[in-house]
């Protein structure tokens, strides 16, 4: 379960970074 959560966090970070880049 811990591994999956880490992967989710990583995906979320990538998504947030992409969103910020797109909104810029």
Residue whose token pair is 């989710």: 8
Question: Would you say the pTM of this structure is higher than 0.85?
Answer: no
Task: Return the pLDDT at 2.
Answer: 86
Q: What is the pLDDT of residue 22?
A: 92
- How do residues 1-24 score in pLDDT, each as one tens digit? 788 999 999 999 999 999 999 998
Both tokens of residue 8? 């989710």
Cα–Cα distance measured from residue 12 to residue 14, given in angstroms and rounded to the nearest whole number: 5
């Amino acid at each position: 379960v811990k591994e999956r959560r880490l992967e989710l966090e990583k995906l979320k970070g990538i998504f947030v970074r992409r969103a910020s880049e797109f909104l810029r």
